[in-house]
Structure 1
Amino acid sequence: MSEREPSQDDAVWQDLVARLESAESAPDPQSPSADPQPPTAGETPSSPGATQPGTGTPAGPRDFSVPADDDEGFVPPEPAPLGTGDPLVVLAWCGAAGAPLALLLMAMFWRSAPFAVIAGLVVLFIAGASYLVSRLPGDRDHGDDGARV
Protein backbone atom coordinates (compact mmCIF):
# COMPACT_ATOMS: atom_id res chain seq x y z
CA MET A 1 0.00 0.00 0.00
CA SER A 2 1.20 3.45 -0.73
CA GLU A 3 1.07 6.16 1.90
CA ARG A 4 -0.59 9.46 1.17
CA GLU A 5 1.28 12.67 1.45
CA PRO A 6 0.48 14.76 4.55
CA SER A 7 -0.92 17.58 2.42
CA GLN A 8 -3.48 15.18 0.90
CA ASP A 9 -4.54 13.99 4.38
CA ASP A 10 -4.88 17.58 5.54
CA ALA A 11 -6.98 18.46 2.52
CA VAL A 12 -9.27 15.46 3.08
CA TRP A 13 -9.58 16.33 6.77
CA GLN A 14 -10.42 19.98 6.04
CA ASP A 15 -13.04 18.89 3.50
CA LEU A 16 -14.63 16.55 6.07
CA VAL A 17 -14.71 19.24 8.76
CA ALA A 18 -16.25 21.76 6.34
CA ARG A 19 -19.00 19.30 5.35
CA LEU A 20 -19.81 18.51 9.00
CA GLU A 21 -19.94 22.18 9.96
CA SER A 22 -22.29 22.95 7.08
CA ALA A 23 -24.51 20.01 8.07
CA GLU A 24 -24.69 21.25 11.68
CA SER A 25 -25.56 24.82 10.69
CA ALA A 26 -28.38 23.75 8.33
CA PRO A 27 -31.76 23.49 10.11
CA ASP A 28 -33.05 19.93 10.39
CA PRO A 29 -36.66 19.68 9.14
CA GLN A 30 -37.40 16.92 11.70
CA SER A 31 -35.84 18.82 14.60
CA PRO A 32 -38.28 19.88 17.34
CA SER A 33 -36.55 23.26 17.59
CA ALA A 34 -37.67 24.04 14.02
CA ASP A 35 -41.33 23.81 15.16
CA PRO A 36 -41.83 26.37 17.97
CA GLN A 37 -45.42 25.22 18.72
CA PRO A 38 -46.08 23.97 22.26
CA PRO A 39 -47.12 20.33 22.72
CA THR A 40 -50.75 19.61 22.04
CA ALA A 41 -53.13 18.04 24.55
CA GLY A 42 -52.38 14.46 23.44
CA GLU A 43 -48.65 15.01 23.22
CA THR A 44 -46.58 14.22 26.32
CA PRO A 45 -43.24 15.87 27.03
CA SER A 46 -41.44 12.63 26.25
CA SER A 47 -43.12 12.09 22.88
CA PRO A 48 -41.28 12.95 19.66
CA GLY A 49 -41.70 16.57 18.70
CA ALA A 50 -42.13 17.83 22.24
CA THR A 51 -39.84 20.52 23.63
CA GLN A 52 -39.00 21.66 27.12
CA PRO A 53 -41.07 24.72 28.02
CA GLY A 54 -39.23 27.98 27.54
CA THR A 55 -36.00 26.45 26.24
CA GLY A 56 -36.93 25.06 22.83
CA THR A 57 -34.66 22.05 23.41
CA PRO A 58 -35.99 18.54 22.91
CA ALA A 59 -37.49 16.91 25.98
CA GLY A 60 -35.95 13.67 27.18
CA PRO A 61 -37.44 10.71 29.03
CA ARG A 62 -36.44 12.14 32.42
CA ASP A 63 -38.34 15.37 31.71
CA PHE A 64 -41.68 13.57 32.04
CA SER A 65 -44.06 14.88 34.68
CA VAL A 66 -46.80 12.73 36.17
CA PRO A 67 -50.30 14.13 35.68
CA ALA A 68 -52.37 14.85 38.77
CA ASP A 69 -54.55 12.00 40.04
CA ASP A 70 -58.29 12.29 39.66
CA ASP A 71 -58.92 9.96 42.60
CA GLU A 72 -59.08 12.71 45.20
CA GLY A 73 -62.47 11.52 46.52
CA PHE A 74 -61.54 7.85 46.95
CA VAL A 75 -61.12 6.73 50.55
CA PRO A 76 -60.18 3.06 51.06
CA PRO A 77 -62.27 1.12 53.55
CA GLU A 78 -60.87 0.44 57.01
CA PRO A 79 -59.15 -2.96 57.22
CA ALA A 80 -60.52 -5.51 59.64
CA PRO A 81 -58.72 -5.73 62.99
CA LEU A 82 -56.10 -8.46 63.20
CA GLY A 83 -57.63 -10.34 66.14
CA THR A 84 -61.07 -10.93 64.62
CA GLY A 85 -60.39 -14.42 63.23
CA ASP A 86 -62.11 -17.58 64.37
CA PRO A 87 -60.35 -18.61 67.62
CA LEU A 88 -60.41 -22.31 66.73
CA VAL A 89 -58.75 -21.67 63.37
CA VAL A 90 -56.06 -19.54 65.03
CA LEU A 91 -55.45 -22.27 67.61
CA ALA A 92 -55.28 -24.91 64.87
CA TRP A 93 -52.70 -22.84 62.96
CA CYS A 94 -50.65 -22.45 66.13
CA GLY A 95 -50.68 -26.23 66.58
CA ALA A 96 -50.03 -27.07 62.92
CA ALA A 97 -47.18 -24.60 62.51
CA GLY A 98 -45.94 -24.25 66.08
CA ALA A 99 -45.60 -27.93 66.98
CA PRO A 100 -43.05 -28.78 64.23
CA LEU A 101 -41.13 -25.63 65.09
CA ALA A 102 -41.12 -26.59 68.78
CA LEU A 103 -39.98 -30.12 67.89
CA LEU A 104 -37.12 -28.71 65.81
CA LEU A 105 -36.01 -26.39 68.63
CA MET A 106 -36.24 -29.25 71.12
CA ALA A 107 -34.09 -31.44 68.88
CA MET A 108 -31.45 -28.72 68.76
CA PHE A 109 -31.45 -27.44 72.35
CA TRP A 110 -33.29 -29.88 74.66
CA ARG A 111 -32.26 -33.40 73.72
CA SER A 112 -33.37 -34.92 77.01
CA ALA A 113 -37.01 -33.80 76.65
CA PRO A 114 -39.52 -36.18 78.19
CA PHE A 115 -41.40 -38.48 75.86
CA ALA A 116 -44.74 -37.02 77.01
CA VAL A 117 -43.78 -33.55 75.70
CA ILE A 118 -42.70 -34.93 72.32
CA ALA A 119 -45.86 -37.07 72.03
CA GLY A 120 -48.01 -34.08 73.05
CA LEU A 121 -46.49 -31.90 70.34
CA VAL A 122 -47.04 -34.61 67.72
CA VAL A 123 -50.69 -34.97 68.79
CA LEU A 124 -51.08 -31.18 68.75
CA PHE A 125 -49.73 -31.05 65.19
CA ILE A 126 -52.02 -33.85 64.00
CA ALA A 127 -55.08 -32.29 65.67
CA GLY A 128 -54.39 -28.80 64.25
CA ALA A 129 -53.68 -30.04 60.73
CA SER A 130 -56.73 -32.32 60.68
CA TYR A 131 -59.00 -29.47 61.89
CA LEU A 132 -57.67 -27.16 59.15
CA VAL A 133 -58.17 -29.86 56.50
CA SER A 134 -61.71 -30.56 57.76
CA ARG A 135 -62.62 -26.88 57.29
CA LEU A 136 -61.67 -26.92 53.62
CA PRO A 137 -64.63 -26.81 51.20
CA GLY A 138 -65.90 -30.26 50.21
CA ASP A 139 -66.44 -29.53 46.54
CA ARG A 140 -65.38 -26.92 44.06
CA ASP A 141 -67.90 -24.62 42.46
CA HIS A 142 -67.25 -25.49 38.81
CA GLY A 143 -69.85 -23.01 37.51
CA ASP A 144 -67.81 -20.07 38.74
CA ASP A 145 -65.51 -18.31 36.27
CA GLY A 146 -63.17 -17.16 39.05
CA ALA A 147 -63.85 -13.44 38.80
CA ARG A 148 -64.96 -12.04 42.14
CA VAL A 149 -65.02 -8.57 43.51
Structure 2
Amino acid sequence: GAPVGLGCDGSASADSGSMWTEARNAMLSGRLKGFLDGSRSLMSSRDALEMATRGGAACLGRQGELGELSVGAVGDLAIWALDGLQFAGALSDPIEAWLRCGPTKARTTIVAGQVIVDNGLLVSSAVEERLAQHRSVAQALQR
Protein backbone atom coordinates (compact mmCIF):
# COMPACT_ATOMS: atom_id res chain seq x y z
CA GLY A 1 0.00 0.00 0.00
CA ALA A 2 0.84 3.65 -0.05
CA PRO A 3 2.85 5.12 2.80
CA VAL A 4 0.87 7.25 5.24
CA GLY A 5 2.63 10.05 7.07
CA LEU A 6 2.02 13.25 8.96
CA GLY A 7 3.64 16.63 8.59
CA CYS A 8 3.22 20.18 9.74
CA ASP A 9 3.60 23.26 7.61
CA GLY A 10 4.90 25.56 10.30
CA SER A 11 3.52 28.45 12.22
CA ALA A 12 3.87 30.96 9.38
CA SER A 13 1.04 29.42 7.38
CA ALA A 14 -0.75 26.92 9.63
CA ASP A 15 -0.63 28.68 13.01
CA SER A 16 1.29 25.76 14.49
CA GLY A 17 4.50 23.90 13.87
CA SER A 18 3.66 21.11 16.29
CA MET A 19 4.09 17.55 15.07
CA TRP A 20 2.77 16.46 18.47
CA THR A 21 -0.52 18.26 17.73
CA GLU A 22 -0.74 16.63 14.30
CA ALA A 23 -0.12 13.15 15.74
CA ARG A 24 -2.65 13.68 18.53
CA ASN A 25 -5.29 14.96 16.10
CA ALA A 26 -4.69 11.99 13.77
CA MET A 27 -5.09 9.54 16.64
CA LEU A 28 -8.27 11.19 17.95
CA SER A 29 -9.77 11.54 14.45
CA GLY A 30 -9.07 7.87 13.75
CA ARG A 31 -10.72 6.87 17.01
CA LEU A 32 -13.75 9.06 16.33
CA LYS A 33 -14.18 7.53 12.86
CA GLY A 34 -14.10 4.03 14.35
CA PHE A 35 -16.75 5.02 16.84
CA LEU A 36 -19.01 6.78 14.34
CA ASP A 37 -18.92 4.11 11.63
CA GLY A 38 -19.58 1.35 14.15
CA SER A 39 -16.38 -0.55 13.38
CA ARG A 40 -14.97 0.26 16.82
CA SER A 41 -11.51 0.06 15.28
CA LEU A 42 -9.23 2.43 17.11
CA MET A 43 -6.13 4.15 15.88
CA SER A 44 -3.50 3.43 18.50
CA SER A 45 -1.05 5.94 19.85
CA ARG A 46 1.70 3.82 18.29
CA ASP A 47 -0.02 4.07 14.88
CA ALA A 48 -0.02 7.86 15.19
CA LEU A 49 3.63 7.92 16.29
CA GLU A 50 4.54 5.67 13.36
CA MET A 51 2.76 8.03 10.93
CA ALA A 52 4.57 11.03 12.44
CA THR A 53 8.01 9.41 12.23
CA ARG A 54 8.74 6.51 9.88
CA GLY A 55 5.55 7.10 7.88
CA GLY A 56 6.49 10.70 7.17
CA ALA A 57 9.98 9.63 6.13
CA ALA A 58 8.50 7.00 3.79
CA CYS A 59 6.25 9.62 2.16
CA LEU A 60 9.38 11.66 1.46
CA GLY A 61 11.29 8.63 0.17
CA ARG A 62 13.77 8.98 3.04
CA GLN A 63 13.32 5.73 4.97
CA GLY A 64 16.30 4.90 7.16
CA GLU A 65 17.42 8.53 7.06
CA LEU A 66 14.60 10.33 8.90
CA GLY A 67 11.91 9.38 11.39
CA GLU A 68 13.87 6.84 13.40
CA LEU A 69 16.81 6.47 15.71
CA SER A 70 19.23 4.15 13.96
CA VAL A 71 22.85 4.07 12.82
CA GLY A 72 23.25 6.42 9.86
CA ALA A 73 19.93 8.23 10.42
CA VAL A 74 19.70 11.93 11.21
CA GLY A 75 19.90 12.14 14.99
CA ASP A 76 17.33 14.84 15.74
CA LEU A 77 15.53 14.16 19.00
CA ALA A 78 12.83 15.73 21.18
CA ILE A 79 12.41 14.70 24.81
CA TRP A 80 9.29 15.35 26.88
CA ALA A 81 8.86 14.97 30.63
CA LEU A 82 5.94 12.67 31.45
CA ASP A 83 5.96 13.10 35.20
CA GLY A 84 3.52 15.98 35.70
CA LEU A 85 0.14 15.86 37.38
CA GLN A 86 -1.61 15.75 33.98
CA PHE A 87 -0.15 12.24 33.48
CA ALA A 88 -1.38 10.78 36.80
CA GLY A 89 -3.91 8.45 35.17
CA ALA A 90 -1.96 7.47 32.06
CA LEU A 91 1.46 6.26 33.16
CA SER A 92 1.04 2.61 32.11
CA ASP A 93 1.82 3.44 28.46
CA PRO A 94 4.17 6.40 27.91
CA ILE A 95 3.26 6.84 24.22
CA GLU A 96 -0.45 6.88 25.03
CA ALA A 97 0.22 9.31 27.89
CA TRP A 98 2.29 11.55 25.63
CA LEU A 99 -0.45 11.83 22.99
CA ARG A 100 -3.53 11.87 25.23
CA CYS A 101 -2.41 14.05 28.11
CA GLY A 102 0.19 16.41 26.71
CA PRO A 103 2.73 17.90 26.77
CA THR A 104 2.86 20.61 24.19
CA LYS A 105 6.36 21.81 25.06
CA ALA A 106 9.51 19.71 24.73
CA ARG A 107 11.90 19.57 27.67
CA THR A 108 14.92 19.01 25.43
CA THR A 109 15.37 19.22 21.66
CA ILE A 110 18.55 18.20 19.84
CA VAL A 111 19.03 18.95 16.13
CA ALA A 112 22.15 17.84 14.23
CA GLY A 113 23.88 17.18 17.54
CA GLN A 114 23.18 20.67 18.92
CA VAL A 115 20.94 21.26 21.93
CA ILE A 116 18.29 23.75 20.80
CA VAL A 117 15.92 23.55 23.79
CA ASP A 118 17.16 22.76 27.29
CA ASN A 119 14.83 22.44 30.27
CA GLY A 120 12.01 23.87 28.14
CA LEU A 121 13.90 27.01 27.11
CA LEU A 122 15.50 27.93 23.78
CA VAL A 123 19.27 27.99 24.19
CA SER A 124 20.09 30.46 21.39
CA SER A 125 20.91 34.03 22.36
CA ALA A 126 19.33 35.20 19.09
CA VAL A 127 15.79 34.10 20.00
CA GLU A 128 14.24 37.57 19.99
CA GLU A 129 15.86 38.43 16.65
CA ARG A 130 14.64 35.17 15.11
CA LEU A 131 11.13 35.69 16.47
CA ALA A 132 11.01 39.18 14.94
CA GLN A 133 12.11 37.75 11.58
CA HIS A 134 9.51 35.01 11.86
CA ARG A 135 6.71 37.47 12.65
CA SER A 136 7.63 39.54 9.61
CA VAL A 137 7.60 36.54 7.26
CA ALA A 138 4.40 35.16 8.82
CA GLN A 139 2.61 38.47 8.36
CA ALA A 140 3.66 38.62 4.70
CA LEU A 141 2.43 35.06 4.09
CA GLN A 142 -0.89 35.64 5.81
CA ARG A 143 -1.82 38.75 3.81
TM-score range, shorter chain: under 0.3
- Taking structure 1 as the reference length, the TM-score comes to 0.19
**Structure with greater strand percent:** 2
- Taking structure 2 as the reference length, the TM-score comes to 0.19
Q: Larger Cα Rg: Structure 1 or Structure 2?
A: 1
